[in-house]
Amino acid sequence: MAELIKVGMADYKVGANPASLISYGLGSCVGIALYDPVAKVGGLAHIMLPDSKQARSSENPAKFADTCLPLMLADMIRDGATKMRITAKIAGGAQMFTFANATDIMRVGERNSEAVRVVLKQLALKIVAEDTGGNYGRTVELNLTNGIFRIKTIDKGEKEL
Protein backbone atom coordinates (compact mmCIF):
# COMPACT_ATOMS: atom_id res chain seq x y z
CA MET A 1 0.00 0.00 0.00
CA ALA A 2 1.18 3.49 -0.81
CA GLU A 3 2.56 5.53 2.02
CA LEU A 4 0.14 7.83 3.88
CA ILE A 5 1.97 10.86 5.26
CA LYS A 6 0.22 12.64 8.13
CA VAL A 7 0.26 16.40 8.32
CA GLY A 8 -0.47 17.77 11.79
CA MET A 9 -1.98 21.09 12.76
CA ALA A 10 0.39 23.97 12.01
CA ASP A 11 2.57 21.76 9.87
CA TYR A 12 3.27 20.96 6.22
CA LYS A 13 4.72 17.98 4.38
CA VAL A 14 5.81 17.40 0.80
CA GLY A 15 5.95 14.08 -0.99
CA ALA A 16 5.90 12.33 -4.35
CA ASN A 17 3.99 9.60 -6.21
CA PRO A 18 2.79 7.06 -4.98
CA ALA A 19 2.36 8.51 -1.50
CA SER A 20 -0.65 10.44 -0.19
CA LEU A 21 -0.69 13.36 2.23
CA ILE A 22 -3.48 13.55 4.81
CA SER A 23 -4.56 15.99 7.48
CA TYR A 24 -7.33 15.14 9.95
CA GLY A 25 -10.03 17.27 11.48
CA LEU A 26 -9.64 20.74 10.01
CA GLY A 27 -12.07 23.22 11.50
CA SER A 28 -11.26 26.87 11.08
CA CYS A 29 -7.79 25.92 9.87
CA VAL A 30 -7.18 25.73 6.13
CA GLY A 31 -5.61 22.86 4.21
CA ILE A 32 -3.67 23.87 1.11
CA ALA A 33 -2.72 21.25 -1.45
CA LEU A 34 -0.11 22.17 -4.06
CA TYR A 35 0.56 19.72 -6.89
CA ASP A 36 2.74 19.41 -9.97
CA PRO A 37 0.98 16.85 -12.20
CA VAL A 38 4.05 16.14 -14.34
CA ALA A 39 6.66 15.60 -11.62
CA LYS A 40 3.87 14.13 -9.43
CA VAL A 41 5.27 16.05 -6.50
CA GLY A 42 2.96 17.76 -4.05
CA GLY A 43 2.63 19.35 -0.67
CA LEU A 44 -0.09 19.70 1.97
CA ALA A 45 -0.14 22.48 4.54
CA HIS A 46 -2.46 22.82 7.55
CA ILE A 47 -2.31 26.47 8.58
CA MET A 48 -3.98 27.91 11.70
CA LEU A 49 -3.67 31.65 11.31
CA PRO A 50 -3.65 34.19 8.48
CA ASP A 51 -0.66 36.35 9.22
CA SER A 52 2.60 35.91 11.15
CA LYS A 53 2.95 39.67 11.50
CA GLN A 54 -0.18 39.89 13.66
CA ALA A 55 0.96 37.25 16.12
CA ARG A 56 3.45 37.27 18.93
CA SER A 57 6.52 35.11 18.92
CA SER A 58 6.40 31.80 17.20
CA GLU A 59 9.08 29.33 16.33
CA ASN A 60 6.84 27.66 13.82
CA PRO A 61 6.45 29.31 10.41
CA ALA A 62 4.08 26.50 9.30
CA LYS A 63 1.40 27.96 11.54
CA PHE A 64 0.72 30.97 9.30
CA ALA A 65 -0.48 31.24 5.72
CA ASP A 66 2.07 33.92 4.81
CA THR A 67 5.15 32.08 6.09
CA CYS A 68 4.16 28.47 5.47
CA LEU A 69 3.33 28.49 1.76
CA PRO A 70 6.64 29.93 0.44
CA LEU A 71 8.51 27.27 2.47
CA MET A 72 6.37 24.45 1.16
CA LEU A 73 6.72 25.70 -2.40
CA ALA A 74 10.53 25.85 -2.04
CA ASP A 75 10.61 22.28 -0.70
CA MET A 76 8.52 21.05 -3.64
CA ILE A 77 10.83 22.73 -6.14
CA ARG A 78 13.82 21.17 -4.36
CA ASP A 79 12.10 17.78 -4.78
CA GLY A 80 11.68 18.22 -8.52
CA ALA A 81 8.49 20.24 -9.01
CA THR A 82 8.37 23.09 -11.50
CA LYS A 83 6.61 26.21 -10.31
CA MET A 84 4.85 26.93 -13.62
CA ARG A 85 3.00 23.62 -13.41
CA ILE A 86 1.93 23.82 -9.77
CA THR A 87 -1.73 24.45 -8.99
CA ALA A 88 -3.49 24.85 -5.67
CA LYS A 89 -6.61 23.39 -4.06
CA ILE A 90 -7.82 24.62 -0.71
CA ALA A 91 -10.32 23.42 1.91
CA GLY A 92 -11.37 24.27 5.45
CA GLY A 93 -11.89 27.66 7.03
CA ALA A 94 -15.14 26.71 8.73
CA GLN A 95 -16.83 28.47 11.61
CA MET A 96 -17.46 25.61 14.01
CA PHE A 97 -19.61 27.38 16.59
CA THR A 98 -22.33 29.86 15.85
CA PHE A 99 -22.76 32.78 18.19
CA ALA A 100 -25.19 35.63 17.90
CA ASN A 101 -22.39 38.19 18.13
CA ALA A 102 -19.42 36.45 16.60
CA THR A 103 -16.16 38.15 17.45
CA ASP A 104 -13.11 38.15 15.22
CA ILE A 105 -11.82 34.97 16.74
CA MET A 106 -15.04 33.20 15.74
CA ARG A 107 -14.62 34.32 12.14
CA VAL A 108 -10.99 33.28 11.92
CA GLY A 109 -11.89 30.53 9.44
CA GLU A 110 -13.07 33.08 6.90
CA ARG A 111 -9.99 35.22 7.50
CA ASN A 112 -7.75 32.18 7.07
CA SER A 113 -9.28 31.31 3.70
CA GLU A 114 -8.94 34.88 2.52
CA ALA A 115 -5.29 35.08 3.63
CA VAL A 116 -4.52 31.84 1.80
CA ARG A 117 -6.02 33.23 -1.43
CA VAL A 118 -3.92 36.38 -1.10
CA VAL A 119 -0.68 34.50 -0.42
CA LEU A 120 -1.27 32.10 -3.31
CA LYS A 121 -1.87 35.05 -5.59
CA GLN A 122 1.36 36.67 -4.45
CA LEU A 123 3.16 33.42 -5.21
CA ALA A 124 1.46 33.35 -8.64
CA LEU A 125 -0.12 29.98 -7.93
CA LYS A 126 -3.57 29.36 -9.36
CA ILE A 127 -6.40 28.01 -7.20
CA VAL A 128 -8.16 25.43 -9.34
CA ALA A 129 -10.64 24.19 -6.74
CA GLU A 130 -11.88 25.24 -3.34
CA ASP A 131 -14.17 23.94 -0.61
CA THR A 132 -14.17 26.43 2.23
CA GLY A 133 -16.56 27.85 4.82
CA GLY A 134 -19.54 26.14 6.39
CA ASN A 135 -19.79 25.03 9.98
CA TYR A 136 -18.32 21.55 9.78
CA GLY A 137 -14.96 19.82 10.06
CA ARG A 138 -13.05 18.31 7.16
CA THR A 139 -10.37 15.66 6.75
CA VAL A 140 -8.36 16.28 3.58
CA GLU A 141 -6.18 13.93 1.57
CA LEU A 142 -3.99 14.71 -1.44
CA ASN A 143 -3.24 11.76 -3.71
CA LEU A 144 0.18 12.35 -5.25
CA THR A 145 -0.42 9.89 -8.08
CA ASN A 146 -3.25 11.89 -9.65
CA GLY A 147 -3.54 15.14 -7.69
CA ILE A 148 -7.05 14.37 -6.44
CA PHE A 149 -7.83 16.26 -3.26
CA ARG A 150 -10.40 14.25 -1.30
CA ILE A 151 -12.48 15.93 1.38
CA LYS A 152 -14.26 13.87 4.01
CA THR A 153 -16.85 15.21 6.43
CA ILE A 154 -18.97 13.60 9.12
CA ASP A 155 -22.41 14.24 7.67
CA LYS A 156 -21.89 16.46 4.63
CA GLY A 157 -20.59 13.60 2.54
CA GLU A 158 -17.34 13.21 0.69
CA LYS A 159 -16.07 15.05 -2.34
CA GLU A 160 -13.13 15.08 -4.69
CA LEU A 161 -11.58 18.27 -5.94
Partner 1 sequence: MTEDILKLSDSQLDALKEVGNVGAGNAATALSQIIQRKIDMAVPQVAILPLGEVPDVVGGPDTMVAGVFLRVYGPAPSSILFILPRESAFYLVDTLMGRTDRKEDILDDMDQSALLEIGNILAGAYLNALSYFTKFTMLPSIPALAMDMAGAILSIILIQLGQMGDHALVIETEFTTEADGVKGHFFLIPDPGSLSTILSAIGVKE
Task: Figure out which of the listed residues 53, 84, 99, 124 binds partner 1, where binding follows CB under 8 A.
Answer: 99
Cα–Cα distance, 75 to 7 (Å, whole number): 15
Active site residue 68: no
- Taking CB under 8 A as the rule, does residue 5 contact partner 1? no
Cα–Cα distance, 42 to 159 (Å, whole number): 19
- Taking CB under 8 A as the rule, does residue 82 contact partner 1? no
Coil, strand, or helix at residue 74? Answer: helix
> Are β-strands 11-16 and 41-47 bridged in parallel, bridged antiparallel, or unpaired?
antiparallel
Residues in contact with partner 1, counted by CB under 8 A, come to a total of 35
Cα–Cα distance, 127 to 132 (Å, whole number): 12
Residues 126 to 155 in contact with partner 1, rule: CB under 8 A? 135-139, 154
Q: How far is the CB of 77 from partner 1 (least distance, A)?
A: 26
Q: How far is the CB of 123 from partner 1 (least distance, A)?
A: 22
- Which positions are catalytic? 29
